Amino acid sequence: MTRLWLVRHGETIDNVKQILQGQCQGELTEHGLQQACDVRDRLRDEPIDAFLSSDLKRSIDTCRVIAEPHGKEVTTTPLLRERDWGDFTGAFIPDLKGRQWPENVETLDALRARAHKFLCFLRQTFPNCTVLAVGHGIINKAIQSVYFDKPMNEIMKMNNAEVRELLL
């Protein structure tokens, strides 16, 4: 059985400003860095075999902090990237209420397919291992949606630097 510690990246400048980051790199705030340090300290003594991260900066930075006491490298994967918000990327979130969604927003089906591919990759690549993976709010929700076989709207939102355990 593979144990997955699924983590959302620490708070970013755009999180604070309520900007839809999507697949932009993002920059952790001081608070976001402290959140990553808190996760690091909490999981310092856990045996973790591998550290995976989205290939976006905010997740990589979070994962590197958490991995530091384990002396392990962080492997990045686009499978953990946040949802592609298309033309909504960079928008002020409160301004989007009631607006027609652009056609170039990644669909929930495509997002869930990517989440399924990530879980298959984990099972095949890290059997009987403990893996910590840092992703984003929506992709982490999709991963849990696939794992629990529930619609995404039934999965609770993850807060910044929140950790959830899944046994695959």
The segments of the chain whose pLDDT lies below 70 read: none
| Predicted pLDDT at 138 | 97
pTM score, two decimals? 0.96
Q: Which of 9, 11, 70, 106 is catalytic?
A: 9
Among this protein's residues, is 9 annotated catalytic?
yes
* Closest by Cα among 65, 69, 45 to 134: 65
| Predicted pLDDT at 70 | 97
Q: Which of 31, 68, 73, 82 is catalytic?
A: 82
| Predicted pLDDT at 25 | 95
Q: What is the largest CA-CA distance in the chain?
A: 47
| Predicted pLDDT at 34 | 98
| Predicted pLDDT at 162 | 98
Among this protein's residues, is 46 annotated catalytic?
no
Q: What are phi and psi of 134, to 5 degrees?
A: -105, 120
C-beta atoms surrounding 58 within 10 Å: 30
* Closest by Cα among 115, 149, 155, 136 to 32: 136
Handedness of CA 138, 39, 5, 158 (dihedral sign): negative
Alpha-carbon torsion, ordered 108, 114, 119, 122, to 10 deg: -160
